[in-house]
Structure 1
Amino acid sequence: MKSFFALATAQVATSLALCTTCIIASTNLAQAVNLTFDWKGDAGYSASGLFSYDETISPAIISESGGGATKALQSLSISFFNPSQELIVTKNEVANGVSNNQFFEFNFDTTTGNLFGAFDVGTGTGIGDIFLSNVEAPGRIFISPGATYYLYQNITADYSQLLDSSTNRIKISAVPESATVLGTLLVGMLGVALSNRTRAKASKY
């Protein structure tokens, strides 16, 4: 009986040590916040994206504009879908803290978790490029940031076709942190270990 409890205790301790090490390592690798965003147009087109920033060094208000090194964003990508929910294209707008879009506009309040102000993502200079914007109205007229989001596709160097539009708000959602996932795994492993110990103990009698 004594040797059994010693073995069970060792198993639980090993599981705790392993998961704790993984959680600490994961936390130390990066303090990145990962968020997704989604928008849907009235005609059925939609857009989904993912962006990240380091919460230890980023300001409460993240404001990015134009190409080149970003102020806070580490990455941002966006995918566009047609009304049949088929992927049209995915664009990596920001990679390793660098924006490759001269028309890029992105403003995010980390306190409220909401976007605000100008938004222009996916814009490219190439023919066929698609972008979502609340600062460019039909006819390539630049306006003050508004509640309506317009989805365009570049047809020529001087003309962008309007594919869809909507006043639907862009929804922001958090991506589960790795530490949270590992914590859940830890609880599960402990549950299994304790359950096995209970069954083994019962079999003694």
Structure 2
Amino acid sequence: MKNIFAKTLTSAAASVAIATGANNPAQAIKLNFNWQGDAGYSATGSFSYDETTAPTIISETGSGATNFLQFLNVSFLDPSKNLLGTYNTVSGGVSQSSFFAFNFDTSTQTLFSPLNVAGGTGVIGEYFFQGTVGDSLQLRQDVDQQGTSTTLDQNSGSIQVSQVPEPASLLGLLAFAGLGVASTLRKKQASC
């Protein structure tokens, strides 16, 4: 009975993984980014673009329709891990901030050059993240919407980017895990 269940489970998982991959080819790629300031503040976010149409270098600036980014959001935390704010800088392929600057190399999956995400929508007290990757990145808070802001934290420009696994990839891993379980059950039954 266990053998039939294992075969059915394995077959179902493999079928779902194959069907998902064939019927829904990968287009949108989602990545996460994390930043840690020297004083303990942090930023976490994610962004997405269509990997079938994006060039090697994605450069986006200003408000309005973006060329390649589909979305970009970022959340800021204080040193005690309390949420300071969450911003949807790009939503539905449209940037909300005239200060927005984003540069990404799709081949190396790294951010580079000027980066300015989050606030910029005209609200006093909003947070924003700006600087040059590899040189200096700062978490700042707007004071008066007249160009005055306070630096809350900064670092040497270090920021990490990681790709989010696609659902089809996860189903494929489940299928391989199912094969391993089925193989183990068969070996146990054969030894009994």
Greater CA radius of gyration, 1 or 2? 1
CA change 1:165–1:9 in 2 (3 A) is closer
| 1:23 lines up with 2:11 in the alignment | no
Distance 2:35 2:152 in 1: 14
User: Which of 53, 62, 67 does residue 57 from structure 1 map onto?
Assistant: 53
Match of 1:90 in 2: 86
Using the TM superposition, give the Cα deviation of residue 195 of structure 1 relative to its aligned residue in structure 2, in angstroms: 3.4
Question: Is there any run of 5+ residues in structure 2 with no aligned partner, and where?
Answer: none
Q: Does the C-alpha gap of structure 1 residues 36 and 14 become closer, same or farther in structure 2, counting only changes over 3 Å?
A: closer
Displacement, 1:168? 3.7
Structure 1: any 5+ residue segments left out of the alignment? 136-144
Change (3 A) 1:170 1:8: closer
Q: 2:152 aligns with which of 152, 163, 185?
A: 163
Change (3 A) 1:9 1:49: closer
Equivalent pairs: percent with the same residue?
A: 41
Rate the CA distance shift 1:46–1:189 in 2: closer, same or farther, 3 A: same
Q: Distance in 2 between matches of 1:99 and 1:77?
A: 11
Relative contact order (alpha carbons < 8 A, sep ≥ 6): 1 or 2 greater?
2
Over 3 Å counting, the alpha-carbon distance change for 1:9 and 1:163 in structure 2 is closer
- What amino acid maps onto 1:20 in structure 2? I
TM-score by length of 2: 0.86
Secondary structure at 2:143's aligned position in 1? strand
Query: Match of 1:156, SS?
Result: coil
What TM-score does the superposition give when structure 1 sets the normalisation length? 0.81
How many residues are treated as equivalent by the alignment?
A: 188
Shift, 1:202, TM fit: 5.1
2:179 pairs, out of 190, 193, 196, with 190
User: Structure 1, residues 83-102: CA drift from partner, whole Å, max 9, x if none?
Assistant: 11211111111111111111
Letter of the structure 2 residue corresponding to residue 152 of structure 1:
R
C-alpha separation in 1, matches of 2:149 and 2:181: 58
